[in-house]
Amino acid sequence: MMAVLSGVAFFRLNISNKNVIFSKSRLLCSNGIHKLRPIASYVHVRSLSDTSFKVKPLDPIDHHEEKFKKILIANRGEIACRIIKTCRQMGIKTVAIHSDVDTTALHVKMADEAYCLGPAPTAKSYLNVEAILDVIQKSSTQAVHPGYGFLSENMDFAQKLEEMGIVFIGPNWKSIAAMGDKIESKRIAAKARVNTIPGFDGVVKTPEECVKIAQEIGYPVMIKASAGGGGKGMRIAWNDKEAMEGFRFSSQEAQSSFGDDRLLVEKFVDNPRHIEMQVLCDKFGNGIYLNERECSIQRRNQKVIEEAPSTFVDENLRKAMGEQAVSLAKAVGYDSAGTVEFLVDSKKNFYFLEMNTRLQVEHPITECITGVDLVQQMIRVAKGSCDVGNLGEGSEISIFYDPMICKLITFDETRNAAISTMIKALDAYVIRGVSHNIPLLRDIMTEKNFVEGNLSTKYLYDVYPEGFNGKQLSESEMEHLAALCGCIFVRHETRSRHFLNQPQPPLESTLPADWNLITEINERNIELLVTEKNHVFEVTVNGKKIIIPGDIHLSAPVLETTIGEEPYTCQLIKHDGAGNLRIRFAGTTFKVRVLTEIAAEYERLMPKKPEKDVSKVVAAPMPGLLKSISCKVGDTVVEGQEVCVIEAMKMQNSLIIGSTGKVKTVHCKEGEAVEEEQVIIELE
Taking the C-alpha atoms of residue 633 and residue 637, their distance in angstroms, rounded to an integer, is: 10
Query: CA 463 from chain center: how many Å?
Result: 18
The answer for 15, left when phi > 0, alpha when psi is -120 to 50, beta otherwise, is: beta
Residues with Cβ within 8 Å of 412's Cβ and at least 6 positions away in sequence, in order, are: 17, 21, 22, 23, 51, 53, 418, 420, 421
Taking the C-alpha atoms of residue 252 and residue 628, their distance in angstroms, rounded to an integer, is: 11
At 243, give phi and psi (nearest 5°). -65, -40
- DSSP per-residue codes, 489-558: HHHHHHHHHHHHTTTS--GGGGS-SEEEEEEEETTEEEEEEEEEETTEEEEEETTEEEEEES---TT-SS
Is residue 41 within 8 A of residue 65, CB to CB? The reply is: no
Taking the C-alpha atoms of residue 280 and residue 290, their distance in angstroms, rounded to an integer, is: 8
Instruction: Tell me if residue 354 is catalytic.
Output: yes
Q: Determine which helix (DSSP H) or strand (DSSP E) holds 103, and give its type and residue range.
A: none
Is residue 35 within 8 A of residue 394, CB to CB? The reply is: yes
Taking the C-alpha atoms of residue 403 and residue 502, their distance in angstroms, rounded to an integer, is: 49
Question: Among 283, 279, 310, which Cα is nearest to 295's?
Answer: 310
Is residue 74 within 8 A of residue 146, CB to CB? The reply is: yes
Check whether the bond before 506 is cis (ω within 30° of 0): yes
Is residue 441 within 8 A of residue 13, CB to CB? The reply is: yes
Set 153, 276, 307, 354: catalytic member: 354
Taking the C-alpha atoms of residue 577 and residue 346, their distance in angstroms, rounded to an integer, is: 56
Catalytic residue positions, numbered: 354
